[in-house]
């Protein structure tokens, strides 16, 4: 109630100020004739003072009074004529003021009912994080979410293909430990929209591969969950994505879907950390780049990040950014970091690369990345020192030195 009282009072106050400006007539001082009148009146007073002091005689005083009086009459006539021409119809002015007040108060209320949320209090940062965590931990399982979706119609298939799949099912049932059969069955069931059967076959694939199961195997399982749920990343899908990233924490598809999961759970900061890194790494032809480019600006705004999209990265391009980076867990936790903590995390990664090159050596590409990284951090002195060291180390290898030079050029120290 207090919110509505304050809002209404402010709206009425603003409307009253606008109306007052319309209803108030212009003051005399706004017209040049009003200024002239004040001058002439002062002159008449000055004549009386001069006469009293004996500076002028009575005849001169009378002559001056006559001349100034004539000018007073002319100026007063000009002022009266200007006021008569400039005066607005009182009824029209009042009506305009009333309409303006109605638009400000009624229009503001109408807009708030469409865009605002009455009764919603302020939500501090920690409270938003707690709400997002509650949303994340209480989100629906795959089965519960699917129960809300309308019945799915299986895509039409040729009778010959359906017959082949039926025979494949029989063969796999007879030889369940044959890896290739399970792989074919998982793909075939997914194509038919039988995602539960497809996941069962994919689970068998992962079981048969054991420790050799790749990130791609787990991503395939996750995609079966996500496709069946029409884009929803359920806890079961997330578990498969986590196993994929445990096998290979650079897998781009797993990182893309994990970012999608964080968006669905009101954590744009974590989604931005994952997707901005994917966008920087490219390549531009990758299927996840286009949807990221379409939405990354809005995600950055929601995350409170001042962001400019990087240029397109072609396949195989050396961006100078491939220094040993943070893990997926580091990126997700960066949402709770202060800007200083994020800066320290980047500096620590660069320092680890620097230490490794100092103790173990590295490729020309590693040296180029280190120089470029120090340049990006604004430490041109350090970048220049490493560039000079690299020139000595690779003096006998022109091709390698040229690779390092490109990193120095990115840092602006290739003199």
CA atoms within 13 A on the CB side of 135: 13
> Are 161 and 238 in the same domain?
yes
pLDDT of residue 91: 61
Q: What is the pTM of this model?
A: 0.53
Contact at 8 Å (CB) between 250 and 286? no
Q: What is the CATH number of the domain that holds 195?
A: 1.25.40.10
Among 232, 265, 298, the domain boundary falls at 265
DSSP structure class, residue 91: H
pLDDT of residue 331: 47
Q: Which residues contact 310 (CB under 8 A, 6 or more apart)?
A: 279, 280
pLDDT of residue 117: 54
> Are 96 and 16 in the same domain?
yes
> Are 25 and 109 in the same domain?
yes
CA atoms within 13 A on the CB side of 202: 24
Query: pLDDT tens digits for 208-238?
Result: 999 888 888 999 999 999 988 888 999 999 9
Identify the three-state secondary structure at position 407: helix
CA dihedral 379, 381, 386, 388 (to 10 degrees): 150
Could you tell me if residue 333 is inside a domain? no
Could you tell me if residue 134 is inside a domain? no
> Are 8 and 101 in the same domain?
yes
Tell me the two tokens of residue 181.
């059969």
Could you tell me if residue 208 is inside a domain? yes
pLDDT of residue 113: 66
Could you tell me if residue 109 is inside a domain? yes
> Are 247 and 300 in the same domain?
no
> Are 200 and 104 in the same domain?
no
**Cα distance between residue 126 and residue 134, in whole Å:** 12
**Which residues in 298-316 are b (16+ Cβ under 10 Å) and which e?**
ebbebbeeeeeeeeebeee
> Are 240 and 259 in the same domain?
yes
Q: Which residues of the chain are under the pLDDT cut of 50? A: 26-29, 315-326, 331, 334-335
Could you tell me if residue 228 is inside a domain? yes
Number of domains observed in the structure of the chain = 4
pLDDT of residue 85: 55
> Are 253 and 282 in the same domain?
no
- Give Dmax over CA atoms of the chain in angstroms: 137
pLDDT of residue 124: 66
**Closest alpha carbon to 36 in 77, 66, 83, 64:** 77
Contact at 8 Å (CB) between 372 and 409? no
Contact at 8 Å (CB) between 314 and 283? yes
Q: Which residues contact 208 (CB under 8 A, 6 or more apart)?
A: 177, 179, 182
> Are 225 and 276 in the same domain?
no
pLDDT of residue 118: 56
Helix intervals (H) in 193-281: 195-209, 215-228, 235-247, 252-264, 268-281
pLDDT of residue 320: 39
pLDDT of residue 316: 43
Could you tell me if residue 390 is inside a domain? yes
Could you tell me if residue 382 is inside a domain? yes
CA 338 to chain CA centroid, Å, is: 18
> Are 6 and 111 in the same domain?
yes
pLDDT of residue 29: 42
Among 265, 297, 330, the domain boundary falls at 265
For residue 359, the enclosing domain spans 339-411
Could you tell me if residue 39 is inside a domain? yes
> Are 108 and 189 in the same domain?
no
> Are 7 and 107 in the same domain?
yes
């Amino acid at each position: 109630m207090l919110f509505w009282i304050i809002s209404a009072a402010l709206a009425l106050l603003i409307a009253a100020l606008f109306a007052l400006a319309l209803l108030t007539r212009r003051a005399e001082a706004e017209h040049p004739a009003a200024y002239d009148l004040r001058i002439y009146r002062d002159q008449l007073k000055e004549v009386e003072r001069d006469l009293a002091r004996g500076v002028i005689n009575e005849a001169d005083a009378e002559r001056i009074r006559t001349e100034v009086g004539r000018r007073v009459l002319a100026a007063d006539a000009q002022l009266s004529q200007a006021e008569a021409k400039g005066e607005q119809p009182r009824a029209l002015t009042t009506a305009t003021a009333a309409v303006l007040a109605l638009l400000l108060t009624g229009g503001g209320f109408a807009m708030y009912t469409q865009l605002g949320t009455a009764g919603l209090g302020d939500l501090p940062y920690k409270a938003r994080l707690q709400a997002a965590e509650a949303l994340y931990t209480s989100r629906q399982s795959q089965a519960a979410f699917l129960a809300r979706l309308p019945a799915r119609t299986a895509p039409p298939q040729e009778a010959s293909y359906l017959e082949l799949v039926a025979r494949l099912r029989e063969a796999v049932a007879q030889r369940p430990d044959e890896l290739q059969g399970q792989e074919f069955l998982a793909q075939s069931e997914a194509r038919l929209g039988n995602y539960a059967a497809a996941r069962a076959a994919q689970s068998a694939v992962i079981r048969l591969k054991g420790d050799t199961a790749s990130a791609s195997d787990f991503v395939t399982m996750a995609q079966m969950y996500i496709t069946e749920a029409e884009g929803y990343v359920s806890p079961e899908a997330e578990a498969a994505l986590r196993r994929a990233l445990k096998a290979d924490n650079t897998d781009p598809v797993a990182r893309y879907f994990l970012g999608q999961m964080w968006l669905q759970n009101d954590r744009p900061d974590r989604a931005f950390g994952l997707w901005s890194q994917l966008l920087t790494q490219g390549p531009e032809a990758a299927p996840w780049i286009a949807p990221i480019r379409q939405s990354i600006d809005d995600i950055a705004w929601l995350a409170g990040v001042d962001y400019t999209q990087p240029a397109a990265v072609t396949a195989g391009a050396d961006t100078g950014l491939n220094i040993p980076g943070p893990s997926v867990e580091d990126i997700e936790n960066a949402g709770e970091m202060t800007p200083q903590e994020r800066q320290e995390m980047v500096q620590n990664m660069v320092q680890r690369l620097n230490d490794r090159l100092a103790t173990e050596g590295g490729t020309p590409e590693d040296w180029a990345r280190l120089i470029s990284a120090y340049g990006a951090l604004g430490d041109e002195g350090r970048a220049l020192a490493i560039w000079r060291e690299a020139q000595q180390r690779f003096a006998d290898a022109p091709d390698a030195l040229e690779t390092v030079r490109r990193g120095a050029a990115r840092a602006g120290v290739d003199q």
